Structure 1
Amino acid sequence: MSPPTGHAAVVDGAAISRDRVDALLRAVPPRDRETRPEAIARAERQRRRWATQVVVTDELARRACADRGLAPPAEVSPEVLAVAEDDVADLGSIVAAALAHSPAARLLLAELEAGQDVPEAAVRDYYDRNRDRFLTPEALRRGVDPFGGASEEDLLPYQEVREGVVGELRRAAGRRAFFDWLDRARAGVVYAHGHEHPGDPSHPDHEHRH
């Protein structure tokens, strides 16, 4: 089903109003400092597509939360919370902004993260392969090479750092599960013209910067 007039997309048969996309665009200043009219127009087209993806991700997350019996999140504010540059680098700007914008997306990510099993062997393997992250303060001051000459005394004990490693691995696995869910969930979304994914090669000025 194609989106009806005045709507940006159709998610599971329900039309998503362009008003939600417009509200997000008003809250997010343009990143690009273009001066040529054609460049400004292109940047705005891509900004609209980007904002549509953030809104669609919120809608999909709301539905996923309902399907899982999770408590309904508060209504979404049109303002996007501050997004850390590290999150943009790790997640891409669409997912990073969606998590900042959408209580449902954050709730779903937390649920997926909590459900991740982290085997003890994976925790130990991470500790053994990343010795540089577990040098003691004294070893760091002495400039000890963690991979060539460091003794057991130069490393923080495994049991002391184990819970932190488990947390890191669980967060990483939760993010992978979120990406997998999102890829599957948005496969059936139908977009109105001008609201396609920014990287969709079916429109002429697509790009893969998220």
Structure 2
Amino acid sequence: MDRFLHCDLPRGAGNCATSHDTAAQARRHRQQRRWATQIVLIHDLALHACAERGLAPPDDLMPMQLLTIPESDIADLGSIVAASLAHSPAARALLSALEREQHIPDTAVRDYYDRNRDRFLTPEALRRGVDPYDEPAPTDIHPYGHVRHGIERELRHAAARRAFFDWLDEARADVEYAEGHEHPGDPTQPDHEHRH
């Protein structure tokens, strides 16, 4: 946890401007400690979940490492979950297992294709400025058979992330935090931060 306490918080992991103000620095340190607590907690919970499922997390014996987290992941997942998945082999192994468990019916894949025609315009149609919702020619849209597997993979990935959030909510429901280590978004704390 010390490594996380002394690293810079990713964007979105608190709203503290850099300041020489002692109160602001103390507030930032409290928020960073709370944020780091969550990363370590998720790693420990994921290790336990992997053991229960008989999963061997890759590189299980390696310590959690500080890595750069893509801003798109922070935007999609929030800084705590994005950092946990970046740093914890156990969290990644659990997410992978959850992804393998997701069943995406063909009707859902076809519905996604039909509702998101703009995502499947051919490069030539894009260059011509074809409106995907104004009866484009069949040759302007990639055929369903060509994009079906990619859509299914994307939907399975999204479903796995939702399942990971559900698991996490349940896994940490009964966690009791020591004073000063509460979740940084805990509304019972006077300096909580929780923005999207």
Distance 1:189 1:197 in 2: 11
Counterpart mapping for 1:53-92 below 5 A: 53-73=38-58, 74-92=60-78
Distance 1:37 1:101 in 2: 30
The answer to whether 1:121 aligns with 2:107 is yes
* Alpha carbons 2:64, 2:89 under 8 Å: kept: no
How far 1:71 sits from its partner (Å)? 1.4
How far 1:153 sits from its partner (Å)? 1.4
* Alpha carbons 1:48, 1:195 under 8 Å: kept: yes
1:203 to 179, 184, 189: 189
Amino acid paired to 1:35: H
1:58-117 residue CA offsets vs partner (Å, 9 max, x unmatched): 000000000000114423534321100000000000000000110000000000011100
Identity %: 62
**Structure 1 stretch 65-74 or stretch 130-139: which is displaced more?**
65-74
**Structure 1 stretch 196-205 or stretch 98-107: which is displaced more?**
196-205
TM-score of the pair, normalised by structure 1: 0.86
2:144 match: 158
Distance 2:174 2:27 in 1: 26
1:95 match: 81
Distance 2:92 2:130 in 1: 40
1:160-197 residue CA offsets vs partner (Å, 9 max, x unmatched): 00000000000000000000000000011111110000
Distance 1:122 1:174 in 2: 15
2:13 match: none
More strand by share: 1
SS across alignment from 2:173: helix
Amino acid paired to 2:38: Q
The answer to whether 1:50 aligns with 2:50 is no
TM-score of the pair, normalised by structure 2: 0.92
How far 1:146 sits from its partner (Å)? 0.5
SS across alignment from 2:172: helix
* Alpha carbons 1:45, 1:194 under 8 Å: kept: yes
2:178 to 177, 187, 192: 192
1:25 match: 5
Structure 2 stretches lacking a partner, 5+ long:
11-16
Distance 2:67 2:193 in 1: 25
Distance 2:195 2:40 in 1: 18
Structure 1 stretches lacking a partner, 5+ long:
1-20
Amino acid paired to 2:123: P
CA root-mean-square deviation: 1.4
